[in-house]
Chains A and B, each alone.
Chain A
Amino acid sequence: MTSATADSSAGRVRGRPRPLRPPGWTRFDGWGVLVLPLLVFLVLVFVVPLVFMLSRSLTDPSVGLQNYRDVFANAVYPRVLGNTFLIAAIVTVVTLALAYPYAYLMTLVGPGWRMVMMGLVLVPFWTSILVRSFALVLFLRDTGAFNSTLQSLDLVDQPVPLIRTLTGVVFGMVQVALPFAVLPIYATMQGIDRRLLQAAESLGDRPAGAFWRIFVPLSAPGVAAAVLLTFVQALGYYITPALLGGPKNTMIGELIVQQVSTVLRFGFAAALATLLLLTTLLLLVVAGRFVDLQKHLMRQP
Protein backbone atom coordinates (compact mmCIF):
# COMPACT_ATOMS: atom_id res chain seq x y z
CA MET A 1 0.00 0.00 0.00
CA THR A 2 2.67 2.49 1.03
CA SER A 3 4.93 1.46 -1.81
CA ALA A 4 2.07 1.82 -4.28
CA THR A 5 1.37 5.39 -3.19
CA ALA A 6 5.08 6.18 -3.09
CA ASP A 7 5.48 4.83 -6.61
CA SER A 8 2.59 6.78 -8.03
CA SER A 9 3.80 10.00 -6.39
CA ALA A 10 7.31 9.31 -7.66
CA GLY A 11 5.83 8.90 -11.13
CA ARG A 12 4.27 12.32 -10.83
CA VAL A 13 7.49 13.87 -9.57
CA ARG A 14 9.26 13.29 -12.86
CA GLY A 15 8.55 15.77 -15.64
CA ARG A 16 5.55 17.97 -16.06
CA PRO A 17 2.09 16.82 -15.03
CA ARG A 18 0.65 14.84 -17.86
CA PRO A 19 -2.29 16.41 -19.69
CA LEU A 20 -5.53 14.68 -18.85
CA ARG A 21 -6.45 14.41 -22.50
CA PRO A 22 -4.44 13.22 -25.48
CA PRO A 23 -2.20 15.95 -26.88
CA GLY A 24 -3.42 18.04 -29.76
CA TRP A 25 -6.09 20.66 -30.01
CA THR A 26 -8.51 20.71 -27.13
CA ARG A 27 -11.49 22.99 -26.71
CA PHE A 28 -13.16 24.45 -23.67
CA ASP A 29 -16.00 22.19 -22.61
CA GLY A 30 -18.86 23.11 -20.28
CA TRP A 31 -16.62 22.81 -17.21
CA GLY A 32 -13.57 24.39 -18.82
CA VAL A 33 -15.46 27.59 -19.57
CA LEU A 34 -15.67 28.20 -15.80
CA VAL A 35 -12.02 29.26 -15.79
CA LEU A 36 -12.81 32.22 -18.02
CA PRO A 37 -14.13 34.67 -15.36
CA LEU A 38 -10.94 34.36 -13.33
CA LEU A 39 -8.75 34.39 -16.40
CA VAL A 40 -10.37 37.56 -17.73
CA PHE A 41 -10.16 39.12 -14.27
CA LEU A 42 -6.45 38.34 -13.90
CA VAL A 43 -5.66 39.55 -17.40
CA LEU A 44 -7.47 42.85 -16.79
CA VAL A 45 -6.31 43.54 -13.22
CA PHE A 46 -2.92 41.83 -13.21
CA VAL A 47 -1.47 41.37 -16.70
CA VAL A 48 -2.68 44.60 -18.32
CA PRO A 49 -1.26 46.81 -15.51
CA LEU A 50 2.08 45.03 -15.85
CA VAL A 51 2.06 45.77 -19.58
CA PHE A 52 1.10 49.36 -18.75
CA MET A 53 4.07 49.57 -16.40
CA LEU A 54 6.37 48.24 -19.09
CA SER A 55 5.14 50.81 -21.58
CA ARG A 56 5.48 53.56 -18.97
CA SER A 57 9.14 52.62 -18.54
CA LEU A 58 9.64 53.21 -22.26
CA THR A 59 7.63 56.44 -22.59
CA ASP A 60 8.04 58.45 -19.37
CA PRO A 61 9.39 61.17 -19.47
CA SER A 62 10.16 60.62 -23.16
CA VAL A 63 9.93 57.75 -25.61
CA GLY A 64 13.01 55.55 -25.70
CA LEU A 65 15.34 53.49 -23.59
CA GLN A 66 16.35 56.54 -21.51
CA ASN A 67 15.22 55.01 -18.20
CA TYR A 68 17.10 51.78 -18.76
CA ARG A 69 20.22 53.72 -19.70
CA ASP A 70 19.85 55.76 -16.51
CA VAL A 71 19.76 52.59 -14.41
CA PHE A 72 23.25 51.71 -15.56
CA ALA A 73 24.62 55.24 -16.05
CA ASN A 74 24.86 56.09 -12.35
CA ALA A 75 27.10 53.84 -10.24
CA VAL A 76 24.53 53.81 -7.41
CA TYR A 77 21.87 51.74 -9.18
CA PRO A 78 24.04 48.88 -10.48
CA ARG A 79 25.34 48.59 -6.92
CA VAL A 80 21.78 48.21 -5.65
CA LEU A 81 21.13 45.53 -8.28
CA GLY A 82 24.34 43.74 -7.30
CA ASN A 83 23.42 44.00 -3.62
CA THR A 84 19.99 42.57 -4.33
CA PHE A 85 21.43 39.50 -6.03
CA LEU A 86 24.15 39.08 -3.40
CA ILE A 87 21.71 39.33 -0.47
CA ALA A 88 19.22 37.01 -2.16
CA ALA A 89 22.02 34.47 -2.75
CA ILE A 90 23.26 34.63 0.85
CA VAL A 91 19.69 34.34 2.14
CA THR A 92 19.09 31.31 -0.10
CA VAL A 93 22.25 29.53 1.07
CA VAL A 94 21.58 30.17 4.78
CA THR A 95 17.91 29.23 4.44
CA LEU A 96 18.80 25.97 2.70
CA ALA A 97 21.47 25.14 5.30
CA LEU A 98 18.85 25.47 8.06
CA ALA A 99 15.82 24.09 6.23
CA TYR A 100 17.40 20.87 4.94
CA PRO A 101 18.42 19.35 8.30
CA TYR A 102 15.18 20.58 9.86
CA ALA A 103 13.09 18.88 7.18
CA TYR A 104 15.27 15.77 7.44
CA LEU A 105 14.69 15.54 11.18
CA MET A 106 10.96 15.88 10.50
CA THR A 107 11.10 12.63 8.53
CA LEU A 108 12.91 10.84 11.38
CA VAL A 109 10.77 11.77 14.41
CA GLY A 110 7.45 10.24 15.41
CA PRO A 111 4.08 11.66 14.36
CA GLY A 112 3.66 13.73 17.55
CA TRP A 113 6.97 15.57 17.23
CA ARG A 114 6.41 15.90 13.51
CA MET A 115 3.19 17.79 14.21
CA VAL A 116 5.05 20.07 16.61
CA MET A 117 7.80 20.73 14.07
CA MET A 118 5.24 21.37 11.33
CA GLY A 119 3.37 23.71 13.69
CA LEU A 120 6.56 25.68 14.30
CA VAL A 121 6.98 26.09 10.53
CA LEU A 122 3.39 27.23 10.10
CA VAL A 123 3.45 29.82 12.92
CA PRO A 124 5.55 32.32 10.93
CA PHE A 125 3.56 31.41 7.82
CA TRP A 126 0.47 32.82 9.48
CA THR A 127 2.23 35.74 11.15
CA SER A 128 2.35 38.85 9.03
CA ILE A 129 5.71 39.77 7.56
CA LEU A 130 5.28 43.26 8.95
CA VAL A 131 4.87 41.94 12.49
CA ARG A 132 7.77 39.55 12.04
CA SER A 133 10.16 42.19 10.72
CA PHE A 134 9.07 44.64 13.41
CA ALA A 135 9.69 42.03 16.11
CA LEU A 136 13.14 41.28 14.69
CA VAL A 137 13.99 45.00 14.80
CA LEU A 138 13.09 44.93 18.50
CA PHE A 139 15.20 41.81 18.93
CA LEU A 140 18.30 42.99 17.10
CA ARG A 141 18.57 46.70 17.92
CA ASP A 142 21.18 48.04 20.33
CA THR A 143 18.81 48.00 23.30
CA GLY A 144 17.05 44.86 22.06
CA ALA A 145 16.76 41.43 23.62
CA PHE A 146 19.81 40.00 21.88
CA ASN A 147 22.23 42.74 22.88
CA SER A 148 20.88 43.15 26.41
CA THR A 149 21.27 39.41 26.95
CA LEU A 150 24.85 39.51 25.69
CA GLN A 151 25.62 42.51 27.89
CA SER A 152 24.01 41.08 31.00
CA LEU A 153 26.12 37.96 30.50
CA ASP A 154 29.19 40.26 30.20
CA LEU A 155 30.03 38.77 26.83
CA VAL A 156 30.35 42.20 25.21
CA ASP A 157 30.86 45.75 26.52
CA GLN A 158 29.31 47.62 23.62
CA PRO A 159 26.12 46.48 21.90
CA VAL A 160 26.90 44.65 18.66
CA PRO A 161 25.52 46.67 15.75
CA LEU A 162 23.09 44.35 13.96
CA ILE A 163 20.34 46.53 12.66
CA ARG A 164 21.11 48.44 9.45
CA THR A 165 23.78 45.84 8.65
CA LEU A 166 23.99 42.95 6.23
CA THR A 167 23.73 40.52 9.16
CA GLY A 168 20.48 42.14 10.24
CA VAL A 169 18.92 41.95 6.77
CA VAL A 170 19.98 38.34 6.29
CA PHE A 171 18.72 37.38 9.76
CA GLY A 172 15.33 38.90 9.01
CA MET A 173 14.99 37.61 5.46
CA VAL A 174 15.97 34.05 6.39
CA GLN A 175 13.31 34.11 9.10
CA VAL A 176 10.75 35.09 6.49
CA ALA A 177 12.00 32.60 3.88
CA LEU A 178 12.44 29.48 6.04
CA PRO A 179 8.88 28.09 5.87
CA PHE A 180 8.85 28.44 2.08
CA ALA A 181 11.98 26.26 1.95
CA VAL A 182 11.11 23.69 4.62
CA LEU A 183 7.74 22.79 3.11
CA PRO A 184 8.83 21.69 -0.41
CA ILE A 185 11.93 19.94 0.93
CA TYR A 186 9.91 18.05 3.52
CA ALA A 187 7.23 17.12 0.99
CA THR A 188 9.86 15.58 -1.30
CA MET A 189 11.72 13.81 1.53
CA GLN A 190 8.46 12.32 2.74
CA GLY A 191 8.04 10.55 -0.60
CA ILE A 192 11.47 8.89 -0.49
CA ASP A 193 11.31 5.16 0.10
CA ARG A 194 13.52 4.54 3.15
CA ARG A 195 13.98 0.90 2.16
CA LEU A 196 16.40 2.11 -0.50
CA LEU A 197 18.70 3.28 2.29
CA GLN A 198 18.33 -0.03 4.10
CA ALA A 199 19.12 -1.83 0.85
CA ALA A 200 22.31 0.19 0.39
CA GLU A 201 23.36 -0.49 3.97
CA SER A 202 22.63 -4.19 3.64
CA LEU A 203 24.88 -4.18 0.59
CA GLY A 204 27.69 -2.83 2.73
CA ASP A 205 27.45 0.96 2.42
CA ARG A 206 27.98 2.93 5.62
CA PRO A 207 24.88 4.94 6.79
CA ALA A 208 26.57 8.22 5.90
CA GLY A 209 27.47 6.89 2.47
CA ALA A 210 23.93 5.72 1.85
CA PHE A 211 22.63 9.11 2.95
CA TRP A 212 24.87 11.06 0.57
CA ARG A 213 24.55 8.68 -2.36
CA ILE A 214 20.84 7.89 -2.15
CA PHE A 215 18.87 10.22 0.10
CA VAL A 216 20.44 13.51 -0.96
CA PRO A 217 20.05 12.93 -4.73
CA LEU A 218 16.46 11.76 -4.26
CA SER A 219 15.62 14.90 -2.28
CA ALA A 220 17.13 17.12 -4.99
CA PRO A 221 13.80 18.06 -6.68
CA GLY A 222 12.49 19.51 -3.41
CA VAL A 223 15.75 21.31 -2.78
CA ALA A 224 15.77 22.75 -6.29
CA ALA A 225 12.21 24.05 -5.84
CA ALA A 226 13.10 25.51 -2.44
CA VAL A 227 16.21 27.24 -3.79
CA LEU A 228 14.35 28.68 -6.74
CA LEU A 229 11.39 29.93 -4.70
CA THR A 230 13.58 31.36 -1.94
CA PHE A 231 15.88 33.18 -4.35
CA VAL A 232 13.11 34.54 -6.54
CA GLN A 233 11.10 35.77 -3.58
CA ALA A 234 14.16 37.24 -1.86
CA LEU A 235 14.88 39.35 -4.96
CA GLY A 236 11.58 41.16 -4.47
CA TYR A 237 11.47 41.62 -0.69
CA TYR A 238 10.62 45.11 0.46
CA ILE A 239 9.41 45.29 4.07
CA THR A 240 12.16 43.27 5.76
CA PRO A 241 15.18 44.92 4.10
CA ALA A 242 13.58 48.35 4.53
CA LEU A 243 13.24 47.80 8.28
CA LEU A 244 16.40 45.83 9.01
CA GLY A 245 18.79 47.06 6.33
CA GLY A 246 20.77 50.24 6.03
CA PRO A 247 21.70 52.53 3.15
CA LYS A 248 24.66 50.24 2.37
CA ASN A 249 22.46 47.25 1.63
CA THR A 250 19.46 48.77 -0.11
CA MET A 251 17.58 46.27 -2.27
CA ILE A 252 15.78 46.90 -5.54
CA GLY A 253 12.32 46.78 -3.94
CA GLU A 254 13.15 49.73 -1.68
CA LEU A 255 14.65 51.61 -4.59
CA ILE A 256 11.43 51.20 -6.58
CA VAL A 257 9.25 52.53 -3.75
CA GLN A 258 11.70 55.36 -3.11
CA GLN A 259 11.68 56.46 -6.75
CA VAL A 260 7.89 56.62 -6.80
CA SER A 261 7.16 58.03 -3.37
CA THR A 262 9.96 60.56 -2.92
CA VAL A 263 11.19 61.64 -6.34
CA LEU A 264 8.10 60.70 -8.40
CA ARG A 265 10.23 59.21 -11.20
CA PHE A 266 7.52 56.87 -12.45
CA GLY A 267 9.25 55.88 -15.67
CA PHE A 268 12.47 55.08 -13.84
CA ALA A 269 10.67 53.07 -11.14
CA ALA A 270 8.80 51.23 -13.89
CA ALA A 271 12.11 50.42 -15.60
CA LEU A 272 13.55 49.03 -12.35
CA ALA A 273 10.40 46.97 -11.77
CA THR A 274 10.48 45.71 -15.36
CA LEU A 275 14.10 44.61 -14.93
CA LEU A 276 13.19 42.80 -11.72
CA LEU A 277 10.15 41.20 -13.38
CA LEU A 278 12.13 40.05 -16.41
CA THR A 279 14.89 38.61 -14.21
CA THR A 280 12.30 36.74 -12.15
CA LEU A 281 10.55 35.37 -15.23
CA LEU A 282 13.85 34.41 -16.88
CA LEU A 283 14.96 32.52 -13.77
CA LEU A 284 11.62 30.73 -13.59
CA VAL A 285 11.60 29.79 -17.27
CA VAL A 286 15.19 28.51 -17.24
CA ALA A 287 14.91 26.72 -13.90
CA GLY A 288 11.40 25.56 -14.78
CA ARG A 289 12.94 23.21 -17.34
CA PHE A 290 14.48 21.27 -14.47
CA VAL A 291 12.07 21.91 -11.61
CA ASP A 292 8.38 21.10 -11.66
CA LEU A 293 7.40 24.45 -10.18
CA GLN A 294 3.71 24.09 -10.89
CA LYS A 295 3.55 21.06 -8.65
CA HIS A 296 5.34 22.80 -5.80
CA LEU A 297 3.24 25.94 -6.13
CA MET A 298 0.04 23.91 -6.21
CA ARG A 299 1.00 22.34 -2.89
CA GLN A 300 1.47 25.57 -0.96
CA PRO A 301 -0.32 25.39 2.37
Chain B
Amino acid sequence: MTKILTRAGLVTLAVVVGVYLVLPVLIVVPMSFSDSSFLSFPPGETSLRWFRNILDDPVWLDSALASLNVALLSSVCAVVLGVLAALALVRGSLPFRNTIMAVLLAPLIVPYVIVGLAAYIAFLELGLTQTTLGFVLVHTCLAVPYVVINVVAGLVSVDRRLEMAAMSLGAGPVTTFFKVTLPLILPSVLAGGLFAFFISWDEVVTAIFLSGPELTTLPVQMWSGIRVQIDPTVAALSTLVLVVIFGSFTVLGLTRLVRQVARRRTARPATNTGA
Protein backbone atom coordinates (compact mmCIF):
# COMPACT_ATOMS: atom_id res chain seq x y z
CA MET B 1 0.00 0.00 0.00
CA THR B 2 2.69 2.48 0.98
CA LYS B 3 4.56 1.43 -2.14
CA ILE B 4 1.58 2.33 -4.33
CA LEU B 5 1.19 5.66 -2.54
CA THR B 6 4.89 6.41 -2.97
CA ARG B 7 4.69 5.58 -6.67
CA ALA B 8 1.58 7.75 -7.08
CA GLY B 9 3.34 10.62 -5.31
CA LEU B 10 6.44 10.23 -7.49
CA VAL B 11 4.40 10.15 -10.69
CA THR B 12 2.38 13.23 -9.69
CA LEU B 13 5.56 15.11 -8.89
CA ALA B 14 7.15 14.02 -12.16
CA VAL B 15 4.11 15.22 -14.12
CA VAL B 16 4.27 18.60 -12.39
CA VAL B 17 8.02 18.87 -13.05
CA GLY B 18 7.50 17.77 -16.67
CA VAL B 19 4.90 20.49 -17.25
CA TYR B 20 7.14 23.03 -15.50
CA LEU B 21 10.02 22.06 -17.81
CA VAL B 22 8.06 22.69 -21.02
CA LEU B 23 5.96 25.55 -19.62
CA PRO B 24 7.80 28.30 -21.54
CA VAL B 25 7.18 26.55 -24.84
CA LEU B 26 3.52 25.98 -23.93
CA ILE B 27 3.15 29.70 -23.19
CA VAL B 28 5.10 31.33 -26.00
CA VAL B 29 3.91 29.33 -28.98
CA PRO B 30 0.14 29.86 -28.54
CA MET B 31 0.66 33.54 -27.74
CA SER B 32 2.63 34.16 -30.89
CA PHE B 33 -0.42 33.16 -32.96
CA SER B 34 -2.71 35.50 -31.05
CA ASP B 35 -4.62 38.20 -32.89
CA SER B 36 -4.78 40.53 -29.91
CA SER B 37 -2.38 43.46 -29.91
CA PHE B 38 -1.26 42.80 -26.37
CA LEU B 39 -0.25 39.50 -24.87
CA SER B 40 -3.18 37.86 -23.19
CA PHE B 41 -4.01 34.39 -22.01
CA PRO B 42 -5.92 32.48 -23.26
CA PRO B 43 -4.78 33.80 -26.65
CA GLY B 44 -8.22 34.02 -28.34
CA GLU B 45 -8.42 34.55 -32.12
CA THR B 46 -5.45 33.20 -34.04
CA SER B 47 -3.55 35.14 -36.66
CA LEU B 48 -0.14 35.42 -38.23
CA ARG B 49 0.06 39.21 -37.91
CA TRP B 50 3.02 39.15 -35.51
CA PHE B 51 4.99 36.95 -37.87
CA ARG B 52 4.23 39.43 -40.66
CA ASN B 53 5.39 42.17 -38.32
CA ILE B 54 8.85 40.56 -38.13
CA LEU B 55 9.22 40.59 -41.90
CA ASP B 56 8.07 44.21 -42.12
CA ASP B 57 10.58 45.53 -39.62
CA PRO B 58 14.12 45.64 -41.04
CA VAL B 59 15.57 45.78 -37.52
CA TRP B 60 14.67 42.13 -36.91
CA LEU B 61 15.96 40.94 -40.26
CA ASP B 62 19.25 42.84 -39.93
CA SER B 63 19.97 41.51 -36.47
CA ALA B 64 18.96 37.99 -37.53
CA LEU B 65 21.44 38.15 -40.40
CA ALA B 66 24.15 39.45 -38.07
CA SER B 67 23.41 36.59 -35.66
CA LEU B 68 23.50 34.04 -38.45
CA ASN B 69 26.82 35.35 -39.67
CA VAL B 70 28.37 35.31 -36.19
CA ALA B 71 26.95 31.87 -35.38
CA LEU B 72 28.21 30.31 -38.62
CA LEU B 73 31.72 31.70 -38.22
CA SER B 74 31.89 30.82 -34.51
CA SER B 75 30.77 27.27 -35.07
CA VAL B 76 33.34 26.75 -37.84
CA CYS B 77 36.12 28.11 -35.60
CA ALA B 78 34.89 26.07 -32.63
CA VAL B 79 34.76 22.87 -34.71
CA VAL B 80 38.26 23.28 -36.13
CA LEU B 81 39.87 24.12 -32.77
CA GLY B 82 37.70 21.63 -30.88
CA VAL B 83 38.37 18.63 -33.14
CA LEU B 84 42.13 19.21 -32.96
CA ALA B 85 41.98 19.47 -29.17
CA ALA B 86 39.79 16.38 -28.87
CA LEU B 87 42.31 14.39 -30.92
CA ALA B 88 45.06 15.56 -28.59
CA LEU B 89 43.04 14.64 -25.50
CA VAL B 90 42.15 11.15 -26.67
CA ARG B 91 45.27 10.16 -28.61
CA GLY B 92 48.06 12.36 -27.39
CA SER B 93 50.33 12.73 -24.44
CA LEU B 94 49.76 15.99 -22.59
CA PRO B 95 51.93 17.47 -19.88
CA PHE B 96 49.90 19.30 -17.18
CA ARG B 97 46.84 17.42 -18.38
CA ASN B 98 44.60 18.58 -15.53
CA THR B 99 45.53 22.24 -15.93
CA ILE B 100 44.89 22.03 -19.66
CA MET B 101 41.52 20.38 -19.05
CA ALA B 102 40.63 23.10 -16.55
CA VAL B 103 41.34 25.80 -19.15
CA LEU B 104 39.38 23.92 -21.84
CA LEU B 105 36.33 23.48 -19.61
CA ALA B 106 36.49 26.86 -17.85
CA PRO B 107 34.09 28.59 -20.29
CA LEU B 108 31.39 26.15 -19.09
CA ILE B 109 31.76 27.38 -15.53
CA VAL B 110 32.70 31.05 -15.53
CA PRO B 111 29.47 33.12 -15.52
CA TYR B 112 28.74 34.76 -18.85
CA VAL B 113 28.43 38.15 -17.15
CA ILE B 114 32.09 37.94 -16.20
CA VAL B 115 33.17 36.72 -19.65
CA GLY B 116 31.17 39.54 -21.21
CA LEU B 117 32.62 42.24 -18.97
CA ALA B 118 36.18 40.97 -19.41
CA ALA B 119 35.81 40.80 -23.20
CA TYR B 120 34.20 44.25 -23.26
CA ILE B 121 37.03 45.82 -21.25
CA ALA B 122 39.70 44.13 -23.39
CA PHE B 123 37.94 44.69 -26.73
CA LEU B 124 37.27 48.40 -26.11
CA GLU B 125 41.02 48.96 -26.22
CA LEU B 126 41.37 46.91 -29.39
CA GLY B 127 38.33 48.39 -31.14
CA LEU B 128 36.69 44.97 -31.36
CA THR B 129 33.36 45.78 -29.71
CA GLN B 130 30.46 45.94 -32.15
CA THR B 131 32.44 43.94 -34.71
CA THR B 132 31.75 40.49 -36.12
CA LEU B 133 35.30 39.46 -35.21
CA GLY B 134 34.76 40.42 -31.57
CA PHE B 135 31.54 38.42 -31.35
CA VAL B 136 33.09 35.43 -33.10
CA LEU B 137 36.10 35.37 -30.75
CA VAL B 138 33.93 35.37 -27.62
CA HIS B 139 31.31 32.97 -28.94
CA THR B 140 33.98 30.52 -30.09
CA CYS B 141 35.30 30.45 -26.51
CA LEU B 142 31.85 29.76 -25.10
CA ALA B 143 31.00 27.09 -27.67
CA VAL B 144 34.27 25.20 -28.02
CA PRO B 145 33.93 23.06 -24.86
CA TYR B 146 30.73 21.55 -26.26
CA VAL B 147 32.56 20.57 -29.45
CA VAL B 148 35.43 19.06 -27.45
CA ILE B 149 33.02 17.05 -25.27
CA ASN B 150 31.05 15.73 -28.23
CA VAL B 151 34.09 14.83 -30.33
CA VAL B 152 35.94 13.19 -27.41
CA ALA B 153 32.88 11.00 -26.86
CA GLY B 154 32.90 10.09 -30.57
CA LEU B 155 36.64 9.44 -30.75
CA VAL B 156 36.71 7.14 -27.75
CA SER B 157 34.46 4.69 -29.56
CA VAL B 158 36.49 4.64 -32.80
CA ASP B 159 38.28 1.35 -33.45
CA ARG B 160 41.93 2.33 -33.76
CA ARG B 161 42.71 -0.77 -35.78
CA LEU B 162 40.91 0.83 -38.73
CA GLU B 163 43.37 3.73 -38.59
CA MET B 164 46.32 1.40 -38.18
CA ALA B 165 45.16 -0.60 -41.18
CA ALA B 166 45.05 2.58 -43.27
CA MET B 167 48.51 3.60 -42.05
CA SER B 168 49.96 0.14 -42.72
CA LEU B 169 48.67 0.44 -46.28
CA GLY B 170 50.73 3.60 -46.70
CA ALA B 171 48.35 6.43 -45.82
CA GLY B 172 49.94 9.33 -43.94
CA PRO B 173 48.41 10.60 -40.69
CA VAL B 174 46.57 13.45 -42.45
CA THR B 175 45.10 11.18 -45.13
CA THR B 176 44.14 8.65 -42.47
CA PHE B 177 42.37 11.35 -40.50
CA PHE B 178 40.35 12.64 -43.44
CA LYS B 179 39.63 9.26 -45.06
CA VAL B 180 39.09 7.08 -41.99
CA THR B 181 38.78 8.91 -38.67
CA LEU B 182 36.72 11.92 -39.75
CA PRO B 183 33.98 9.90 -41.47
CA LEU B 184 33.71 7.74 -38.34
CA ILE B 185 33.37 10.69 -35.95
CA LEU B 186 31.34 12.86 -38.33
CA PRO B 187 28.08 12.56 -36.34
CA SER B 188 29.80 13.82 -33.18
CA VAL B 189 31.52 16.59 -35.11
CA LEU B 190 28.18 17.68 -36.59
CA ALA B 191 26.48 17.50 -33.19
CA GLY B 192 29.26 19.58 -31.67
CA GLY B 193 29.03 22.08 -34.52
CA LEU B 194 25.26 22.35 -34.12
CA PHE B 195 25.65 22.96 -30.39
CA ALA B 196 28.25 25.60 -31.12
CA PHE B 197 25.97 27.24 -33.67
CA PHE B 198 23.06 27.48 -31.27
CA ILE B 199 25.11 28.63 -28.33
CA SER B 200 26.25 31.55 -30.44
CA TRP B 201 22.85 32.12 -32.11
CA ASP B 202 21.17 32.24 -28.71
CA GLU B 203 23.72 33.95 -26.57
CA VAL B 204 22.52 37.19 -24.93
CA VAL B 205 24.67 38.07 -21.96
CA THR B 206 28.09 38.64 -23.51
CA ALA B 207 26.32 39.96 -26.61
CA ILE B 208 24.68 42.71 -24.52
CA PHE B 209 28.18 43.94 -23.65
CA LEU B 210 29.50 43.72 -27.21
CA SER B 211 26.44 45.08 -29.04
CA GLY B 212 25.83 48.64 -30.12
CA PRO B 213 24.41 50.69 -32.98
CA GLU B 214 27.09 49.30 -35.30
CA LEU B 215 26.26 45.64 -34.71
CA THR B 216 23.51 43.99 -32.71
CA THR B 217 22.55 40.33 -32.68
CA LEU B 218 18.98 39.00 -32.65
CA PRO B 219 18.86 37.95 -28.98
CA VAL B 220 20.04 41.41 -27.90
CA GLN B 221 17.41 43.01 -30.13
CA MET B 222 14.81 40.72 -28.53
CA TRP B 223 16.15 41.59 -25.10
CA SER B 224 15.67 45.31 -25.67
CA GLY B 225 12.26 44.55 -27.18
CA ILE B 226 11.22 42.75 -24.02
CA ARG B 227 12.52 45.49 -21.76
CA VAL B 228 10.89 48.35 -23.66
CA GLN B 229 7.47 46.85 -24.28
CA ILE B 230 6.12 43.35 -24.07
CA ASP B 231 4.72 42.89 -27.55
CA PRO B 232 3.59 39.69 -29.28
CA THR B 233 6.29 40.20 -31.92
CA VAL B 234 8.84 38.88 -29.43
CA ALA B 235 6.64 35.83 -28.83
CA ALA B 236 6.50 35.24 -32.58
CA LEU B 237 10.27 35.59 -32.82
CA SER B 238 10.71 33.18 -29.94
CA THR B 239 8.50 30.69 -31.74
CA LEU B 240 10.58 31.02 -34.89
CA VAL B 241 13.78 30.50 -32.91
CA LEU B 242 12.25 27.43 -31.29
CA VAL B 243 11.18 26.02 -34.65
CA VAL B 244 14.69 26.47 -36.07
CA ILE B 245 16.37 24.86 -33.06
CA PHE B 246 14.00 21.93 -32.66
CA GLY B 247 13.89 21.41 -36.42
CA SER B 248 17.67 21.08 -36.67
CA PHE B 249 17.93 18.79 -33.68
CA THR B 250 15.19 16.59 -35.09
CA VAL B 251 17.03 16.40 -38.41
CA LEU B 252 20.26 15.60 -36.59
CA GLY B 253 18.50 12.96 -34.49
CA LEU B 254 17.01 11.38 -37.61
CA THR B 255 20.32 11.28 -39.48
CA ARG B 256 21.91 9.69 -36.42
CA LEU B 257 19.19 7.08 -36.33
CA VAL B 258 19.59 6.33 -40.03
CA ARG B 259 23.34 6.02 -39.57
CA GLN B 260 22.94 3.71 -36.61
CA VAL B 261 20.62 1.44 -38.56
CA ALA B 262 22.99 1.47 -41.53
CA ARG B 263 25.96 0.74 -39.31
CA ARG B 264 24.19 -2.13 -37.60
CA ARG B 265 23.51 -3.64 -41.01
CA THR B 266 27.06 -3.28 -42.26
CA ALA B 267 28.59 -4.22 -38.92
CA ARG B 268 27.02 -7.66 -38.84
CA PRO B 269 29.29 -9.44 -41.36
CA ALA B 270 32.34 -7.78 -39.81
CA THR B 271 31.57 -9.14 -36.33
CA ASN B 272 30.97 -12.56 -37.84
CA THR B 273 34.41 -12.71 -39.43
CA GLY B 274 35.88 -11.31 -36.23
CA ALA B 275 34.38 -14.17 -34.23
Which residues from chain A sit less than 8 Å from chain B, CB to CB? 16, 19-21, 25-39, 41-43, 45-50, 52-53, 56, 98-99, 101-102, 104-105, 108, 117, 120-121, 123-124, 126-132, 134-139, 143-145, 148, 175, 178-179, 207-208, 232-233, 235-239, 243, 253, 256-257, 260, 266, 269-270, 273, 276-277, 280, 284, 294, 297-300
5 contacts between A and B (CB under 8 A): A35-B100, A41-B81, A127-B242, A129-B202, A253-B205
In contact, A21 and B13 (Cβ under 8 angstroms): no
Interface string of B85-128 (1 = CB under 8 A from A): 10111011111011011011111111111110111111100000
User: When chains A and B are docked, how far (Å) is the Cα of A20 from the Cα of B89?
Assistant: 10
* Extra 14 A-B pairs, beta carbons < 8 Å, given A52-B121, A126-B246: A28-B93, A32-B93, A38-B84, A49-B122, A101-B10, A134-B235, A135-B24, A135-B28, A138-B39, A144-B41, A232-B109, A273-B117, A277-B111, A280-B111
In contact, A277 and B152 (Cβ under 8 angstroms): no
User: When chains A and B are docked, how far (Å) is the Cα of A260 from the Cα of B148?
Assistant: 33
In contact, B100 and A178 (Cβ under 8 angstroms): no
Distance in Å from the Cβ of A5 to the closest Cβ of chain B? 14
B18 within 8 A of A: yes
Distance in Å from the Cβ of B204 to the closest Cβ of chain A? 5
The verdict on A124 contacting B241 (CB below 8 Å), with A52-B118, A98-B13, A260-B120 known, is no
A interface secondary structure, majority = helix
B interface secondary structure, majority = helix
B164 within 8 A of A: no
In contact, B17 and A175 (Cβ under 8 angstroms): no
User: When chains A and B are docked, how far (Å) is the Cα of A269 from the Cα of B120?
Assistant: 12
In contact, B93 and A136 (Cβ under 8 angstroms): no
In contact, B230 and A137 (Cβ under 8 angstroms): yes
In contact, A49 and B202 (Cβ under 8 angstroms): no
In contact, B94 and A32 (Cβ under 8 angstroms): yes
Residues of B within 8 A of A232 (CB): 109
In contact, B97 and A238 (Cβ under 8 angstroms): no
Residues of A within 8 A of B25 (CB): 123, 127, 135
Q: Which of B20, B89, B122, B173 contacts A35 (CB 8 A)?
A: B89
Q: Which of B82, B105, B117, B122 contacts A256 (CB 8 A)?
A: B117
In contact, B81 and A134 (Cβ under 8 angstroms): no
